[in-house]
Amino acid sequence: MLTVHLPDGSRREYSQAVSSYDVAAEIGPGLAKAAVAAEVDKQLVDLHAPLPTEGEISLRLLTKRDAEALEVLRHSCAHVMAQAVMRLYDGVQLAFGPCTDTGFYYDFELSQPLTEEDFPKIEAEMRKIVKSKERFERLEMSHEESLNLCRELGQDFKVEHIETGLADQKNLSFYRQGEFIDLCRGRHVPSTGHIGKAFKLLSVAGAYWKGDASRQQLQRLYATVFFDKKDLQEHLHRLEEAKRRDHRVLGKQLGLFEIDEKVGSGLVLWKPRGAVIREELQNFISHHLKRQGYSQVFTPHIGKIDLYRTSGHFPYYQDSQFPPLIDRDQLKKLADDGCSCSDLANMLSEGEIDGYLLKPMNCPHHIRIYASEKHSYRDLPVRLAEFGTVYRWEQSGELGGMTRVRGFTQDDAHLFVTEEQLAEEIASCLELVKIVLGTLGMENYRVRVGLRDPEGDKYVGEAEQWDRAEAACLQAAESLGTDFSVDTGEAAFYGPKIDFVVRDVIGREWQLGTVQVDYQLPERFDLEYTGADNKPHRPVMVHRAPFGSMERFVGVLIEHFAGAFPLWLAPEQVRLLTVSEKSEDYGRGVEQRLKDVGFRISGDFRGQKLGAKIREAQLALIPYMFVVGEKDAQNGTVTVRDRIEGDLGAMSLDAAITKLQDEISDRTVRQVASKQSDANDIDQ
């Protein structure tokens, strides 16, 4: 007898073999028609897969309302796309076709390059497959049978994957629909007919077999699918909006930053206008750091490898670090001794030789500053802050504009506190993150608490310390008064963390501010303070970075504001436009007055038509234009044009200056958010 427990608390019993579909059909024909997959004891299964014949199970039937169902739909549509490509082109070699956060892709080896001109043909063939309502059939085979099948199909990539990546698997699964069959774990919708019409091919890009640049080059076909056409159209609109806001494009158009291959991939050159934004952000947060009692420090860009051995960053982060720098005399001696590259790597890992690293983290340097002096409990908390540049060796395929780089500057700070101070200091750090996001109109965020996985092996330290650190993070998250999620296994290797995941104006999520609690590094570096009992005690360390990195944060801001920054942050705040050369002398005087009171302003004194000048300033996303003509010169006025609201009319120069100064000093959420929503309507 099988007992099935349903989410509503009811249960059903079966003495004969049944599937999840049979249970759905017994509940009602509407549910049977709507269901696309099921969850049995929290494990995803195909809707028609047989259930156990005895015992007790929990069953949840998935429909299009469930997030898991959309992933099943996308996985299934990837197979349909691959089937269509194989029907249309000869000699197709299949690689992998996983889901992504917003759709799916499939990698192919083809004798001819695919272009967007091929998309309508492929989509038309996919519609035929969907219309045929071919059933997705799961096939279980032994390892040897699987190899033989893939050899018969001539699918060399699958053969290699079975022989190497799946060598320890006794049995493997395939899915078949119509004439198409593919090695696949599943799960899938019942038939191709469940896919519907809301799919779209999006782009094609290059890829390598198993991500290895030394292996075969493949073509990666990106696509997406939804249950409803409305959802697809909304997604396509977001993609178009994302293209319009692409920080890589806007950054070049607005002269904010450059990534020059002669300097190096993933290394950002901040141009003068972009540097203004960065400097304003640093000034803004520095004000709050002083208010909260932080001390500014500066540390070198490199450090001895042994420093990072102690911290655990080397060799823990070795794969994402730049190669070590070794003393040239020592390196020459090793070469003379016949030391190979692998010998050198082993000697570095074992600590037999030393060298330097481009710093991957600022925390070991701040720790050594703390350790350079003796501390009493009366000195704590010690709060050290630095805009410190760190370096990570990201793979070239993972680099992307300013949001994924190899050198980036963190608004980093490390606090050394007593256990009694921990909760209050975490709350203070979280307050700072909320101030940053609120001021920039980025209030649509969620909070994520990353805890250790009790079964994981990447974590260092005692369980009791972890328990205390996790309890402090959970308590602080609860104090925020907003919903938060708990993600087991997402802690750093040295402690739990609280992340702010921000949703921008077009719905994308970015992980920005972070606060982390650390009992481990003070232990590793043997940090101490003298307590009230006159005995040595171990401080607790808090890592925090409200921006995360200046590069990533500014990249996100460019896209969030579509380049139309609020007045206080805009690289150029005012552009002065003359109607004719008759008002140039007065205009230059106005320009100088605005510079004297601290505005970032430029004057356009060219002899072009005023309409053309206004259009150029509008395209440059300048917040305000001051237009001056002969009448303004006579009356001591300027005609003010708002980037968004248009002509505001003539004002005395003093009144115009006061208006802008008030807006700069009033960095409220209302002002920034209002500007952002209106900025979407700017004709670019």
Q: What would the pLDDT profile of 412-421 be if each residue is shown by its tens digit?
A: 999 999 988 9
- Give the closest residue to 68 by CA, choosing from 48, 40, 96: 40
For residue 354, the model assigns a pLDDT of 75
Q: Is 272 exposed, middle or buried, given 0-12, 13-18 or 19+ CB atoms closer than 10 A?
A: exposed
Distance, in Å, from the CA atom of 147 to the CA atom of 251, rounded to the nearest integer, reads 50
Name the packing angle between helices 341-350 and 328-336 (round to 10°): 130
For residue 343, the model assigns a pLDDT of 64
The letter for the amino acid at 475 is Q
For residue 325, the model assigns a pLDDT of 78
Tokens of 109: 């080896």
Question: Residues with Cβ < 8 Å from 608, sequence gap 6 or more?
Answer: none
Region of poorest pLDDT, from 205-214, 248-257, 321-330, 664-673: 664-673
For residue 351, the model assigns a pLDDT of 65
* Arithmetic mean of pLDDT, 172-185: 95
Tens-digit pLDDT profile for residues 5-23: 999 999 999 999 999 999 9
Q: What are the φ/ψ torsions at residue 481 (nearest 5 degrees)?
A: 75, 20
Q: Which of 46, 107, 412, 499 is catalytic?
A: 412
Per-residue H/E/C for 579-624: CCHHHHHHHHHHHHHHHHCCCCEEEECCCCCHHHHHHHHHHCCCCE
The letter for the amino acid at 299 is T
For residue 335, the model assigns a pLDDT of 65
* Arithmetic mean of pLDDT, 356-373: 94
For residue 644, the model assigns a pLDDT of 86
Q: What is the model's pTM?
A: 0.79
The distance from CA 7 to its chain's CA centroid, rounded to whole angstroms, is 34
Distance, in Å, from the CA atom of 31 to the CA atom of 537, rounded to the nearest integer, reads 62
Average pLDDT value over all residues in the chain? 89
Q: Which of 79, 359, 497, 560 is catalytic?
A: 497
Distance, in Å, from the CA atom of 231 to the CA atom of 511, rounded to the nearest integer, reads 24
Distance, in Å, from the CA atom of 156 to the CA atom of 158, rounded to the nearest integer, reads 5
Identify the sign of the CA torsion 566, 570, 573, 577: negative
Q: Which of 99, 150, 184, 363 is catalytic?
A: 363
Tens-digit pLDDT profile for residues 634-677: 999 999 999 888 899 999 999 999 999 999 987 633 333 334 33
Instruction: Check whether 684 has a pLDDT greater than 50.
Output: no
Instruction: Check whether 534 has a pLDDT greater than 80.
Output: yes
Percentage of the chain beyond pLDDT 70 is 93
For the question of residue 48 being annotated catalytic, the response is no
Q: Is 359 exposed, middle or buried, given 0-12, 13-18 or 19+ CB atoms closer than 10 A?
A: buried
Region of poorest pLDDT, from 112-116, 565-569, 664-668: 664-668
For the question of residue 497 being annotated catalytic, the response is yes
For the question of residue 128 being annotated catalytic, the response is no
**DSSP notation for 274-307:** HHHHHHHHHHHHHHHHHHTT-EE----SEEEHHH
For the question of residue 582 being annotated catalytic, the response is no
For residue 502, the model assigns a pLDDT of 86
Helix, strand, coil abundance in the chain, percent, nearest 5: 40, 25, 35
Alpha-carbon Rg of the chain, whole angstroms?
30
* Arithmetic mean of pLDDT, 293-316: 89
624-628 and 382-391 beta bridge pairing: unpaired
Q: Which of 543, 544, 575, 641 is catalytic?
A: 543
Tokens of 82: 């691959």
Element (H or E) spanning 474, and its range? helix 463-479
For the question of residue 543 being annotated catalytic, the response is yes
First-to-final CA distance of the chain: 67
* Arithmetic mean of pLDDT, 425-454: 87
For residue 342, the model assigns a pLDDT of 64
Q: Which of 64, 143, 304, 392 is catalytic?
A: 392
Tokens of 452: 């250790």
Which domains does the chain carry? 2-63 (3.10.20.30), 69-243 (3.30.980.10), 273-294+375-560 (3.30.930.10), 302-358 (no CATH), 574-679 (3.40.50.800)
Region of poorest pLDDT, from 484-498, 554-568, 622-636: 484-498
Q: How many residues does the chain have?
A: 684
Tokens of 681: 């309507």
Distance, in Å, from the CA atom of 18 to the CA atom of 52, rounded to the nearest integer, reads 8
For residue 459, the model assigns a pLDDT of 75
**331: confidence class by pLDDT, cuts 50, 70, 90:** low
Using CA atoms, how far residue 557 sits from 86, 280, 502, 548, 642, in Å, is 42, 13, 11, 13, 21
**392: confidence class by pLDDT, cuts 50, 70, 90:** confident
For the question of residue 412 being annotated catalytic, the response is yes
For the range 113-122, what are the long-range contacts, defined as Cβ-Cβ under 8 Å and sequence gap of 24 or more? 113/219, 114/204, 114/219, 114/221, 115/204, 116/203, 116/204, 119/201, 121/88, 122/81, 122/84, 122/85, 122/88, 122/201, 122/221
